[in-house]
Structure 1
Amino acid sequence: MAMTQRKDHLTFDNPVTRHPDITPPKQDQDMPGLDAELEPQTDRGERTYRGTGRLEGRKALITGGDSGIGAAVAIAYAREGADVAINYLPAEEEDADRIAELVEAEGRTCVQIPADVTDRASCEEIVRRAVAELGGLDALVVNAGKQVATESIEDISDEQFDLTVKTNVYAMFWIIRAAVKHLEPGSTIVLSSSVQAYSPSETLLDYAMTKAAMNTFGKGLAKQLAPKGVRVNIVAPGPIWTPLQVVDGQPTDQLPEFGKGQPIGRAGQPVELAPAYVFLASPESSYVVGETLNVNGGADSP
Protein backbone atom coordinates (compact mmCIF):
# COMPACT_ATOMS: atom_id res chain seq x y z
CA MET A 1 0.00 0.00 0.00
CA ALA A 2 1.40 3.40 -0.94
CA MET A 3 2.03 5.70 2.00
CA THR A 4 1.22 9.40 1.75
CA GLN A 5 3.22 11.76 3.87
CA ARG A 6 1.71 15.17 4.63
CA LYS A 7 3.95 18.06 5.52
CA ASP A 8 2.53 20.73 7.75
CA HIS A 9 2.66 24.11 6.07
CA LEU A 10 4.01 26.88 8.26
CA THR A 11 3.26 30.50 7.49
CA PHE A 12 5.82 33.06 8.52
CA ASP A 13 5.54 36.82 8.74
CA ASN A 14 6.51 38.59 5.55
CA PRO A 15 8.84 41.44 6.64
CA VAL A 16 7.58 43.59 3.78
CA THR A 17 4.03 43.55 5.12
CA ARG A 18 4.56 42.80 8.82
CA HIS A 19 4.28 46.52 9.52
CA PRO A 20 2.28 49.01 7.45
CA ASP A 21 3.78 50.89 4.54
CA ILE A 22 3.02 54.32 5.94
CA THR A 23 2.55 57.51 3.93
CA PRO A 24 2.83 60.19 6.60
CA PRO A 25 0.96 63.41 5.87
CA LYS A 26 2.96 66.61 5.83
CA GLN A 27 3.23 67.73 9.44
CA ASP A 28 5.45 69.77 11.68
CA GLN A 29 5.95 69.75 15.45
CA ASP A 30 7.87 72.12 17.65
CA MET A 31 11.05 70.76 19.19
CA PRO A 32 11.45 68.23 20.74
CA GLY A 33 8.32 66.49 19.34
CA LEU A 34 5.91 63.99 20.87
CA ASP A 35 4.90 60.46 19.93
CA ALA A 36 1.45 61.37 21.25
CA GLU A 37 0.98 63.91 18.44
CA LEU A 38 2.59 61.94 15.60
CA GLU A 39 0.47 60.92 12.60
CA PRO A 40 0.36 58.01 12.06
CA GLN A 41 1.26 56.69 15.48
CA THR A 42 4.40 54.62 15.90
CA ASP A 43 4.53 50.96 16.91
CA ARG A 44 6.77 50.75 19.97
CA GLY A 45 5.77 47.19 20.80
CA GLU A 46 3.05 48.06 23.30
CA ARG A 47 0.83 45.25 22.02
CA THR A 48 3.32 43.02 20.23
CA TYR A 49 6.65 42.71 22.04
CA ARG A 50 6.81 39.56 24.15
CA GLY A 51 9.72 39.04 26.51
CA THR A 52 11.48 35.81 27.45
CA GLY A 53 13.43 36.89 30.54
CA ARG A 54 16.70 37.58 28.74
CA LEU A 55 17.46 40.69 30.85
CA GLU A 56 16.19 39.46 34.20
CA GLY A 57 17.56 41.61 37.01
CA ARG A 58 19.23 44.17 34.76
CA LYS A 59 19.30 47.86 35.68
CA ALA A 60 19.26 49.99 32.54
CA LEU A 61 19.53 53.70 31.77
CA ILE A 62 18.10 54.78 28.39
CA THR A 63 18.53 58.34 27.13
CA GLY A 64 15.74 59.50 24.86
CA GLY A 65 13.63 56.77 26.45
CA ASP A 66 10.31 58.58 26.21
CA SER A 67 9.57 58.12 22.51
CA GLY A 68 10.59 56.43 19.29
CA ILE A 69 13.40 53.90 19.45
CA GLY A 70 14.26 54.65 23.09
CA ALA A 71 10.67 54.04 24.16
CA ALA A 72 10.56 50.73 22.28
CA VAL A 73 13.79 49.70 24.00
CA ALA A 74 12.40 50.64 27.43
CA ILE A 75 9.26 48.55 26.85
CA ALA A 76 11.27 45.59 25.58
CA TYR A 77 13.80 45.74 28.40
CA ALA A 78 11.01 45.79 30.98
CA ARG A 79 9.33 42.81 29.35
CA GLU A 80 12.67 41.01 29.39
CA GLY A 81 12.92 41.55 33.16
CA ALA A 82 14.92 44.78 33.54
CA ASP A 83 14.26 47.84 35.66
CA VAL A 84 14.83 51.01 33.66
CA ALA A 85 15.54 54.70 34.04
CA ILE A 86 14.52 56.89 31.13
CA ASN A 87 15.93 60.33 30.40
CA TYR A 88 14.11 62.90 28.28
CA LEU A 89 13.49 66.63 28.00
CA PRO A 90 10.93 68.16 30.39
CA ALA A 91 8.71 69.04 27.40
CA GLU A 92 8.41 65.31 26.65
CA GLU A 93 6.77 64.42 29.99
CA GLU A 94 3.52 63.27 28.34
CA ASP A 95 5.32 60.60 26.32
CA ALA A 96 7.52 59.65 29.28
CA ASP A 97 4.52 59.13 31.57
CA ARG A 98 3.04 56.68 29.06
CA ILE A 99 6.24 54.65 28.85
CA ALA A 100 6.51 54.59 32.65
CA GLU A 101 2.97 53.17 32.81
CA LEU A 102 3.89 50.40 30.37
CA VAL A 103 7.11 49.54 32.21
CA GLU A 104 5.40 49.46 35.60
CA ALA A 105 2.59 47.32 34.16
CA GLU A 106 5.25 44.61 33.77
CA GLY A 107 6.06 44.84 37.48
CA ARG A 108 9.31 46.65 36.80
CA THR A 109 10.65 49.94 38.14
CA CYS A 110 10.73 52.99 35.88
CA VAL A 111 12.74 56.00 37.04
CA GLN A 112 11.85 59.16 35.12
CA ILE A 113 14.71 61.65 34.76
CA PRO A 114 13.85 64.82 32.82
CA ALA A 115 17.07 66.66 31.94
CA ASP A 116 18.84 68.31 29.02
CA VAL A 117 21.81 66.20 27.90
CA THR A 118 23.55 69.16 26.26
CA ASP A 119 24.70 70.20 29.74
CA ARG A 120 27.61 68.29 31.33
CA ALA A 121 26.34 68.64 34.90
CA SER A 122 22.93 67.34 33.84
CA CYS A 123 24.51 64.28 32.22
CA GLU A 124 26.37 63.49 35.41
CA GLU A 125 23.18 63.95 37.44
CA ILE A 126 21.26 61.62 35.12
CA VAL A 127 23.77 58.86 35.81
CA ARG A 128 23.85 59.60 39.54
CA ARG A 129 20.06 59.40 39.83
CA ALA A 130 19.83 56.24 37.74
CA VAL A 131 22.40 54.47 39.92
CA ALA A 132 20.83 55.69 43.17
CA GLU A 133 17.21 54.94 42.27
CA LEU A 134 17.77 51.66 40.43
CA GLY A 135 20.26 50.43 43.00
CA GLY A 136 23.05 50.15 40.44
CA LEU A 137 23.62 50.23 36.70
CA ASP A 138 24.65 47.48 34.29
CA ALA A 139 23.10 48.46 30.95
CA LEU A 140 23.46 51.87 29.32
CA VAL A 141 21.70 52.84 26.08
CA VAL A 142 22.88 56.17 24.65
CA ASN A 143 20.04 57.02 22.31
CA ALA A 144 18.97 60.68 22.62
CA GLY A 145 19.66 62.52 19.37
CA LYS A 146 19.18 65.73 17.44
CA GLN A 147 18.64 65.86 13.67
CA VAL A 148 17.78 68.91 11.56
CA ALA A 149 17.52 68.72 7.76
CA THR A 150 19.20 71.72 6.11
CA GLU A 151 19.44 72.21 2.36
CA SER A 152 22.79 74.04 2.30
CA ILE A 153 25.85 74.17 4.52
CA GLU A 154 25.45 77.94 4.37
CA ASP A 155 22.16 77.58 6.24
CA ILE A 156 23.58 75.54 9.13
CA SER A 157 23.87 78.06 11.94
CA ASP A 158 26.52 77.89 14.62
CA GLU A 159 23.72 77.29 17.13
CA GLN A 160 22.32 74.33 15.20
CA PHE A 161 25.76 72.81 14.69
CA ASP A 162 26.63 73.25 18.36
CA LEU A 163 23.37 71.71 19.62
CA THR A 164 23.65 68.74 17.26
CA VAL A 165 27.21 68.00 18.32
CA LYS A 166 26.46 68.49 22.01
CA THR A 167 23.37 66.26 21.90
CA ASN A 168 24.87 63.47 19.82
CA VAL A 169 28.56 63.49 20.76
CA TYR A 170 29.29 65.49 23.92
CA ALA A 171 26.35 63.95 25.81
CA MET A 172 27.46 60.45 24.80
CA PHE A 173 30.95 61.18 26.14
CA TRP A 174 29.77 62.85 29.35
CA ILE A 175 27.23 60.13 30.20
CA ILE A 176 29.57 57.24 29.50
CA ARG A 177 32.42 58.87 31.39
CA ALA A 178 30.16 59.26 34.42
CA ALA A 179 28.75 55.74 34.12
CA VAL A 180 31.88 53.65 33.56
CA LYS A 181 32.89 53.53 37.22
CA HIS A 182 29.54 51.91 38.04
CA LEU A 183 29.74 49.18 35.38
CA GLU A 184 30.81 45.78 36.68
CA PRO A 185 31.92 42.87 34.48
CA GLY A 186 28.95 41.67 32.45
CA SER A 187 27.63 45.20 31.93
CA THR A 188 26.86 46.55 28.48
CA ILE A 189 26.76 49.85 26.60
CA VAL A 190 24.75 50.24 23.39
CA LEU A 191 25.00 53.37 21.25
CA SER A 192 22.40 54.53 18.70
CA SER A 193 24.26 55.52 15.56
CA SER A 194 22.63 55.65 12.10
CA VAL A 195 22.92 54.51 8.49
CA GLN A 196 23.81 58.19 8.00
CA ALA A 197 27.25 57.35 9.41
CA TYR A 198 27.94 55.37 6.21
CA SER A 199 25.65 56.94 3.64
CA PRO A 200 25.10 60.59 4.59
CA SER A 201 22.23 62.54 3.08
CA GLU A 202 23.16 65.88 1.59
CA THR A 203 20.66 67.57 3.93
CA LEU A 204 22.02 66.01 7.14
CA LEU A 205 25.69 66.99 7.15
CA ASP A 206 26.04 67.81 10.84
CA TYR A 207 23.87 64.90 12.00
CA ALA A 208 25.65 62.34 9.80
CA MET A 209 29.03 63.58 11.00
CA THR A 210 28.06 63.02 14.65
CA LYS A 211 26.78 59.52 13.94
CA ALA A 212 30.04 58.59 12.25
CA ALA A 213 31.86 59.94 15.30
CA MET A 214 29.65 57.85 17.56
CA ASN A 215 30.39 54.73 15.53
CA THR A 216 34.16 55.28 15.75
CA PHE A 217 34.03 56.23 19.43
CA GLY A 218 32.04 53.08 20.24
CA LYS A 219 34.50 50.79 18.49
CA GLY A 220 37.46 52.34 20.27
CA LEU A 221 35.75 52.28 23.64
CA ALA A 222 34.83 48.62 23.08
CA LYS A 223 38.52 47.72 22.87
CA GLN A 224 39.28 49.72 26.01
CA LEU A 225 36.53 48.18 28.14
CA ALA A 226 36.47 44.61 26.83
CA PRO A 227 39.30 43.40 29.11
CA LYS A 228 37.22 44.62 32.05
CA GLY A 229 34.26 42.51 30.96
CA VAL A 230 32.18 45.48 29.82
CA ARG A 231 30.92 45.19 26.24
CA VAL A 232 30.23 48.16 23.94
CA ASN A 233 28.26 47.83 20.71
CA ILE A 234 26.38 50.06 18.31
CA VAL A 235 23.03 49.91 16.51
CA ALA A 236 22.73 51.80 13.21
CA PRO A 237 19.05 52.34 12.35
CA GLY A 238 17.83 53.25 8.90
CA PRO A 239 14.71 55.39 8.30
CA ILE A 240 12.57 54.75 11.40
CA TRP A 241 9.27 56.55 11.94
CA THR A 242 9.68 58.64 15.11
CA PRO A 243 9.00 62.21 16.26
CA LEU A 244 12.57 63.06 15.21
CA GLN A 245 11.37 63.17 11.61
CA VAL A 246 8.69 65.85 12.12
CA VAL A 247 10.74 68.36 14.13
CA ASP A 248 12.70 69.37 11.02
CA GLY A 249 14.46 66.00 10.91
CA GLN A 250 13.19 65.58 7.35
CA PRO A 251 12.03 68.18 4.82
CA THR A 252 8.26 68.41 5.37
CA ASP A 253 7.40 67.89 1.71
CA GLN A 254 9.36 64.62 1.68
CA LEU A 255 7.56 63.03 4.63
CA PRO A 256 4.97 61.14 2.50
CA GLU A 257 7.84 59.24 0.83
CA PHE A 258 9.78 58.62 4.04
CA GLY A 259 11.50 55.22 3.94
CA LYS A 260 9.95 54.07 0.68
CA GLY A 261 13.32 53.93 -1.05
CA GLN A 262 14.59 51.09 1.14
CA PRO A 263 14.82 47.64 -0.49
CA ILE A 264 12.11 46.44 1.90
CA GLY A 265 9.93 49.25 0.53
CA ARG A 266 8.89 51.01 3.72
CA ALA A 267 10.04 52.89 6.79
CA GLY A 268 10.79 50.90 9.91
CA GLN A 269 8.89 51.04 13.20
CA PRO A 270 10.62 51.51 16.58
CA VAL A 271 9.59 48.02 17.72
CA GLU A 272 11.70 46.56 14.91
CA LEU A 273 14.82 48.01 16.58
CA ALA A 274 14.10 46.71 20.09
CA PRO A 275 15.31 43.11 19.55
CA ALA A 276 18.73 44.38 18.45
CA TYR A 277 19.14 46.34 21.69
CA VAL A 278 17.92 43.36 23.73
CA PHE A 279 20.37 41.03 22.02
CA LEU A 280 23.34 43.34 22.55
CA ALA A 281 22.49 43.78 26.26
CA SER A 282 21.93 40.08 26.89
CA PRO A 283 24.51 37.39 27.75
CA GLU A 284 23.65 35.74 24.42
CA SER A 285 25.89 38.30 22.70
CA SER A 286 28.85 37.72 25.03
CA TYR A 287 31.33 37.45 22.11
CA VAL A 288 29.94 40.46 20.24
CA VAL A 289 32.17 43.45 20.99
CA GLY A 290 32.56 46.68 19.01
CA GLU A 291 29.98 45.58 16.48
CA THR A 292 27.69 47.90 14.53
CA LEU A 293 24.40 46.12 13.98
CA ASN A 294 22.60 47.67 11.01
CA VAL A 295 18.80 47.64 11.13
CA ASN A 296 17.94 49.54 7.98
CA GLY A 297 15.57 47.63 5.71
CA GLY A 298 18.27 46.42 3.31
CA ALA A 299 20.46 49.46 2.59
CA ASP A 300 24.12 48.79 1.85
CA SER A 301 26.40 49.12 4.85
CA PRO A 302 29.96 48.04 5.70
Structure 2
Amino acid sequence: MAEPEKIPAQHQDSMPADEYKMDPAPDYTPRHPGVGKLKGKVAFISGGDSGIGRAVAALFAREGANVAIAYLEEDEDAARTKEIVEREGGEALLIRGDLAVKSHAEDAVRQTVETFGRLDILINNCAQQWVDEDIETLSEERLRRTMDSNVMAYFFCTQAALPHLKEGASIINTTSVNAFKGNDSLIAYSTTRGASLALARSLASNLSDRGIRVNAVAPGPVWTPFIPGSMPAEQVEGFGSGTKFGRPAQPWEVATSYLFLASSDGSFFTGQTLHPNGGTIVNA
Protein backbone atom coordinates (compact mmCIF):
# COMPACT_ATOMS: atom_id res chain seq x y z
CA MET A 1 0.00 0.00 0.00
CA ALA A 2 1.31 3.45 -0.92
CA GLU A 3 2.21 5.81 1.89
CA PRO A 4 -0.75 8.17 2.52
CA GLU A 5 -0.19 11.78 1.50
CA LYS A 6 0.43 13.84 4.62
CA ILE A 7 -1.70 16.95 5.05
CA PRO A 8 0.53 20.02 5.48
CA ALA A 9 -0.09 22.72 8.10
CA GLN A 10 -2.60 25.36 6.95
CA HIS A 11 -5.37 27.55 8.29
CA GLN A 12 -8.14 29.78 6.98
CA ASP A 13 -9.76 32.57 8.99
CA SER A 14 -13.30 31.80 7.92
CA MET A 15 -16.08 29.35 8.61
CA PRO A 16 -17.24 27.91 6.31
CA ALA A 17 -13.81 27.98 4.68
CA ASP A 18 -12.93 27.77 0.98
CA GLU A 19 -12.10 24.55 -0.86
CA TYR A 20 -10.18 26.32 -3.61
CA LYS A 21 -7.57 27.42 -1.05
CA MET A 22 -6.87 23.92 0.33
CA ASP A 23 -3.59 22.03 -0.18
CA PRO A 24 -3.93 19.36 -1.38
CA ALA A 25 -7.28 19.85 -3.06
CA PRO A 26 -9.96 17.46 -1.77
CA ASP A 27 -10.89 14.67 -4.16
CA TYR A 28 -14.57 14.80 -5.11
CA THR A 29 -14.43 12.84 -8.38
CA PRO A 30 -16.75 9.81 -8.70
CA ARG A 31 -14.89 6.60 -9.49
CA HIS A 32 -17.39 4.62 -11.58
CA PRO A 33 -19.54 5.24 -14.67
CA GLY A 34 -23.10 6.29 -13.93
CA VAL A 35 -25.88 3.79 -14.54
CA GLY A 36 -28.88 6.09 -14.11
CA LYS A 37 -29.64 5.35 -10.45
CA LEU A 38 -31.10 8.84 -10.04
CA LYS A 39 -32.30 9.48 -13.59
CA GLY A 40 -34.99 12.14 -13.63
CA LYS A 41 -34.59 12.94 -9.92
CA VAL A 42 -34.04 16.34 -8.32
CA ALA A 43 -31.89 16.76 -5.23
CA PHE A 44 -31.56 19.73 -2.89
CA ILE A 45 -28.15 19.73 -1.18
CA SER A 46 -27.46 22.19 1.61
CA GLY A 47 -23.78 22.96 1.96
CA GLY A 48 -23.46 21.71 -1.60
CA ASP A 49 -20.70 24.05 -2.67
CA SER A 50 -17.72 22.14 -1.26
CA GLY A 51 -16.48 19.15 0.69
CA ILE A 52 -18.94 16.30 1.07
CA GLY A 53 -21.71 18.38 -0.51
CA ARG A 54 -19.70 18.93 -3.70
CA ALA A 55 -18.85 15.23 -3.95
CA VAL A 56 -22.51 14.28 -3.48
CA ALA A 57 -23.57 16.80 -6.14
CA ALA A 58 -21.03 15.40 -8.61
CA LEU A 59 -22.02 11.79 -7.96
CA PHE A 60 -25.75 12.50 -8.11
CA ALA A 61 -25.30 14.33 -11.41
CA ARG A 62 -23.34 11.42 -12.84
CA GLU A 63 -26.27 9.18 -11.88
CA GLY A 64 -28.78 11.37 -13.70
CA ALA A 65 -30.02 13.90 -11.14
CA ASN A 66 -30.43 17.65 -11.37
CA VAL A 67 -29.13 19.43 -8.30
CA ALA A 68 -29.93 22.55 -6.29
CA ILE A 69 -26.78 23.66 -4.48
CA ALA A 70 -27.57 25.77 -1.42
CA TYR A 71 -24.64 27.52 0.22
CA LEU A 72 -23.90 30.39 2.59
CA GLU A 73 -21.47 32.74 0.82
CA GLU A 74 -18.66 30.74 -0.83
CA ASP A 75 -19.34 31.95 -4.36
CA GLU A 76 -16.14 30.69 -6.00
CA ASP A 77 -16.55 27.17 -4.62
CA ALA A 78 -20.24 27.13 -5.58
CA ALA A 79 -19.52 28.24 -9.16
CA ARG A 80 -16.94 25.47 -9.46
CA THR A 81 -19.42 22.88 -8.20
CA LYS A 82 -21.99 24.06 -10.73
CA GLU A 83 -19.41 23.49 -13.48
CA ILE A 84 -18.71 20.00 -12.11
CA VAL A 85 -22.40 19.08 -12.07
CA GLU A 86 -22.86 20.30 -15.62
CA ARG A 87 -19.79 18.42 -16.79
CA GLU A 88 -21.33 15.27 -15.30
CA GLY A 89 -24.46 15.82 -17.37
CA GLY A 90 -26.75 17.42 -14.79
CA GLU A 91 -28.30 20.84 -14.36
CA ALA A 92 -27.35 22.90 -11.32
CA LEU A 93 -29.12 25.73 -9.51
CA LEU A 94 -27.05 27.86 -7.14
CA ILE A 95 -28.89 29.32 -4.13
CA ARG A 96 -26.93 31.67 -1.88
CA GLY A 97 -27.95 32.55 1.68
CA ASP A 98 -28.43 31.46 5.27
CA LEU A 99 -30.71 28.43 5.57
CA ALA A 100 -31.02 29.04 9.32
CA VAL A 101 -33.35 31.88 8.32
CA LYS A 102 -36.64 30.07 7.83
CA SER A 103 -37.91 32.37 5.09
CA HIS A 104 -34.74 31.76 3.07
CA ALA A 105 -35.02 27.99 3.47
CA GLU A 106 -38.58 28.20 2.20
CA ASP A 107 -37.54 30.38 -0.73
CA ALA A 108 -34.64 28.06 -1.59
CA VAL A 109 -36.92 25.05 -1.83
CA ARG A 110 -39.46 27.10 -3.80
CA GLN A 111 -36.76 28.10 -6.31
CA THR A 112 -35.75 24.46 -6.67
CA VAL A 113 -39.27 23.26 -7.44
CA GLU A 114 -39.95 26.18 -9.79
CA THR A 115 -36.73 25.48 -11.68
CA PHE A 116 -36.87 21.70 -11.93
CA GLY A 117 -40.57 20.96 -11.44
CA ARG A 118 -40.15 18.53 -8.56
CA LEU A 119 -38.12 17.53 -5.52
CA ASP A 120 -37.16 13.94 -4.72
CA ILE A 121 -34.11 14.04 -2.45
CA LEU A 122 -33.23 16.35 0.43
CA ILE A 123 -29.65 16.30 1.70
CA ASN A 124 -29.34 18.20 4.98
CA ASN A 125 -25.58 18.71 5.01
CA CYS A 126 -24.72 22.36 5.73
CA ALA A 127 -22.74 22.82 8.95
CA GLN A 128 -20.14 24.82 10.81
CA GLN A 129 -17.68 23.77 13.48
CA TRP A 130 -15.06 25.30 15.76
CA VAL A 131 -12.62 23.89 18.26
CA ASP A 132 -14.05 24.59 21.74
CA GLU A 133 -12.07 22.61 24.29
CA ASP A 134 -13.33 24.66 27.26
CA ILE A 135 -17.11 24.74 27.61
CA GLU A 136 -16.83 27.50 30.20
CA THR A 137 -15.45 29.91 27.63
CA LEU A 138 -17.70 28.85 24.74
CA SER A 139 -19.45 32.06 23.71
CA GLU A 140 -23.20 32.31 23.33
CA GLU A 141 -22.75 33.79 19.84
CA ARG A 142 -20.67 30.84 18.62
CA LEU A 143 -22.94 28.29 20.26
CA ARG A 144 -26.04 29.80 18.67
CA ARG A 145 -24.32 30.06 15.29
CA THR A 146 -23.40 26.38 15.42
CA MET A 147 -26.90 25.37 16.46
CA ASP A 148 -28.49 27.54 13.77
CA SER A 149 -26.38 26.12 10.95
CA ASN A 150 -26.28 22.50 12.05
CA VAL A 151 -29.76 22.03 13.53
CA MET A 152 -32.22 24.81 12.76
CA ALA A 153 -31.39 24.82 9.04
CA TYR A 154 -32.14 21.09 8.93
CA PHE A 155 -35.57 21.63 10.48
CA PHE A 156 -36.39 24.56 8.19
CA CYS A 157 -35.27 22.83 4.99
CA THR A 158 -37.19 19.69 5.92
CA GLN A 159 -40.35 21.66 6.71
CA ALA A 160 -40.07 23.49 3.40
CA ALA A 161 -39.37 20.33 1.40
CA LEU A 162 -42.03 18.01 2.80
CA PRO A 163 -45.00 19.40 0.84
CA HIS A 164 -43.10 18.54 -2.36
CA LEU A 165 -41.77 15.09 -1.41
CA LYS A 166 -43.82 12.19 -2.65
CA GLU A 167 -43.81 8.49 -1.82
CA GLY A 168 -40.38 7.09 -2.57
CA ALA A 169 -38.57 10.32 -1.68
CA SER A 170 -35.47 10.31 0.49
CA ILE A 171 -34.12 12.61 3.21
CA ILE A 172 -30.51 12.18 4.34
CA ASN A 173 -28.96 14.05 7.26
CA THR A 174 -25.24 14.44 7.70
CA THR A 175 -24.20 13.57 11.24
CA SER A 176 -20.74 12.53 12.49
CA VAL A 177 -18.77 9.84 14.26
CA ASN A 178 -18.64 12.41 17.07
CA ALA A 179 -22.39 12.00 17.62
CA PHE A 180 -21.60 8.46 18.78
CA LYS A 181 -18.28 8.78 20.61
CA GLY A 182 -18.21 12.46 21.58
CA ASN A 183 -15.25 14.80 21.13
CA ASP A 184 -13.74 16.79 23.96
CA SER A 185 -12.52 19.55 21.64
CA LEU A 186 -15.66 19.80 19.47
CA ILE A 187 -18.34 19.95 22.14
CA ALA A 188 -20.88 22.20 20.42
CA TYR A 189 -20.36 20.59 17.03
CA SER A 190 -20.71 17.06 18.41
CA THR A 191 -23.91 18.07 20.20
CA THR A 192 -25.44 19.36 16.97
CA ARG A 193 -24.49 16.19 15.15
CA GLY A 194 -26.26 14.21 17.84
CA ALA A 195 -29.30 16.35 17.13
CA SER A 196 -29.17 15.73 13.37
CA LEU A 197 -28.95 12.00 14.07
CA ALA A 198 -31.95 12.06 16.42
CA LEU A 199 -33.86 14.14 13.88
CA ALA A 200 -33.25 11.55 11.16
CA ARG A 201 -34.37 8.68 13.38
CA SER A 202 -37.47 10.54 14.57
CA LEU A 203 -38.46 11.62 11.07
CA ALA A 204 -38.01 8.08 9.78
CA SER A 205 -40.76 6.95 12.13
CA ASN A 206 -42.89 10.03 11.59
CA LEU A 207 -42.82 9.86 7.78
CA SER A 208 -42.96 6.11 7.20
CA ASP A 209 -46.69 6.19 6.45
CA ARG A 210 -45.97 8.67 3.65
CA GLY A 211 -43.38 6.39 2.07
CA ILE A 212 -40.53 8.83 2.68
CA ARG A 213 -37.29 7.26 3.85
CA VAL A 214 -35.03 9.18 6.26
CA ASN A 215 -31.47 8.13 7.05
CA ALA A 216 -28.12 9.56 8.12
CA VAL A 217 -24.44 9.40 7.21
CA ALA A 218 -21.87 9.68 10.01
CA PRO A 219 -18.41 10.37 8.55
CA GLY A 220 -15.18 10.25 10.47
CA PRO A 221 -12.24 12.51 9.52
CA VAL A 222 -12.78 13.89 6.01
CA TRP A 223 -10.54 16.33 4.15
CA THR A 224 -12.95 19.23 3.65
CA PRO A 225 -12.87 23.01 4.23
CA PHE A 226 -14.10 22.34 7.77
CA ILE A 227 -10.60 21.34 8.77
CA PRO A 228 -8.44 24.36 7.89
CA GLY A 229 -11.38 26.60 8.76
CA SER A 230 -11.80 25.35 12.31
CA MET A 231 -8.41 24.10 13.47
CA PRO A 232 -5.05 25.77 14.15
CA ALA A 233 -2.48 25.12 11.43
CA GLU A 234 -0.42 22.82 13.64
CA GLN A 235 -3.47 20.60 14.27
CA VAL A 236 -4.27 20.40 10.57
CA GLU A 237 -0.81 19.01 9.82
CA GLY A 238 -1.14 15.24 9.56
CA PHE A 239 -4.93 15.40 9.89
CA GLY A 240 -6.60 11.98 9.76
CA SER A 241 -3.41 9.98 10.35
CA GLY A 242 -5.02 8.28 13.34
CA THR A 243 -7.52 6.30 11.26
CA LYS A 244 -6.94 2.66 10.40
CA PHE A 245 -5.88 3.80 6.92
CA GLY A 246 -3.45 6.42 8.21
CA ARG A 247 -5.26 9.22 6.37
CA PRO A 248 -8.58 11.09 6.26
CA ALA A 249 -11.36 10.14 3.89
CA GLN A 250 -11.66 12.02 0.64
CA PRO A 251 -15.14 13.45 -0.03
CA TRP A 252 -15.82 11.03 -2.90
CA GLU A 253 -15.43 8.10 -0.48
CA VAL A 254 -18.23 9.49 1.68
CA ALA A 255 -20.54 10.53 -1.17
CA THR A 256 -21.18 6.90 -2.12
CA SER A 257 -23.09 6.40 1.14
CA TYR A 258 -25.49 9.18 0.16
CA LEU A 259 -26.04 7.65 -3.26
CA PHE A 260 -26.87 4.28 -1.74
CA LEU A 261 -29.42 5.79 0.63
CA ALA A 262 -30.92 8.12 -1.99
CA SER A 263 -31.36 5.49 -4.69
CA SER A 264 -33.46 2.35 -4.89
CA ASP A 265 -30.41 0.42 -3.66
CA GLY A 266 -31.38 1.64 -0.19
CA SER A 267 -35.11 1.06 -0.54
CA PHE A 268 -35.33 -1.01 2.68
CA PHE A 269 -33.30 1.47 4.74
CA THR A 270 -34.96 4.05 6.97
CA GLY A 271 -33.93 5.33 10.38
CA GLN A 272 -30.43 3.97 9.74
CA THR A 273 -26.90 5.40 9.72
CA LEU A 274 -23.98 4.57 7.45
CA HIS A 275 -20.49 4.99 8.93
CA PRO A 276 -17.69 5.90 6.50
CA ASN A 277 -15.32 6.64 9.39
CA GLY A 278 -12.06 4.84 8.66
CA GLY A 279 -12.51 1.99 11.09
CA THR A 280 -13.91 3.49 14.30
CA ILE A 281 -16.33 1.01 15.80
CA VAL A 282 -19.41 2.70 17.25
CA ASN A 283 -22.80 1.61 18.52
CA ALA A 284 -24.93 2.27 15.44
TM over 0.5: yes
1:34 maps onto 2:18 in alignment: yes
Post-superposition CA distance 1:238-294 (Å, at most 9, x none): 00000011112x343211131111122211100001111000000111111110101
1:22 maps onto 2:6 in alignment: yes
Q: Secondary structure at the match of 1:94?
A: helix
Q: Look up the equivalent residue of 2:82 and give its one-letter code.
A: A
Q: Secondary structure at the match of 1:232?
A: strand
Alignment gaps of 5+ in structure 1: 1-13
Return the alpha-carbon distance in structure 2 between the equivalents of residues 95 and 201 of structure 1: 29
1:104 maps onto 2:86 in alignment: yes
Alignment gaps of 5+ in structure 2: none
- The alpha-carbon deviation at position 49 of structure 1 amounts to 4.8
Q: Does the 8 Å contact 2:41/2:66 carry over to 1?
A: yes
1:282 maps onto 2:260 in alignment: no
Name 1:132's counterpart in structure 2. 114
- Cα distance change, pair 139–269 in 1 and its aligned pair in 2 (3 A): same
Post-superposition CA distance 1:174-230 (Å, at most 9, x none): 110111111000100011000010112111111000101111111010011112111
- 1:43 aligned to which of 27, 45, 49: 27
Q: Does the 8 Å contact 2:239/2:248 carry over to 1?
A: yes
Q: Does the 8 Å contact 1:111/1:134 carry over to 2?
A: no
Return the alpha-carbon distance in structure 2 between the equivalents of residues 62 and 300 of structure 1: 28
Name 1:212's counterpart in structure 2. 194
Name 2:46's counterpart in structure 1. 63
Q: Look up the equivalent residue of 2:187 and give its one-letter code.
A: L
TM-score by length of 1: 0.90
Q: Look up the equivalent residue of 2:7 and give its one-letter code.
A: T
CA RMSD, aligned part only?
1.4
- Cα distance change, pair 212–51 in 1 and its aligned pair in 2 (3 A): same
Q: Identity percentage over the alignment?
A: 41
Name 1:243's counterpart in structure 2. 225
Return the alpha-carbon distance in structure 1 between the equivalents of residues 177 and 88 of structure 2: 32
TM-score by length of 2: 0.96
Name 1:143's counterpart in structure 2. 125
1:53 maps onto 2:29 in alignment: no
Name 1:4's counterpart in structure 2. none
Structure number with larger C-alpha Rg? 1
1:121 maps onto 2:121 in alignment: no
- The alpha-carbon deviation at position 20 of structure 1 amounts to 4.0
Q: Does the 8 Å contact 2:44/2:119 carry over to 1?
A: yes
What is the 5 A alignment of 1:129-208? 129-208=111-190
Name 1:77's counterpart in structure 2. 60
Count the aligned residue pairs: 283
Return the alpha-carbon distance in structure 2 between the equivalents of residues 35 and 49 of structure 1: 23
Q: Does the 8 Å contact 2:9/2:235 carry over to 1?
A: no
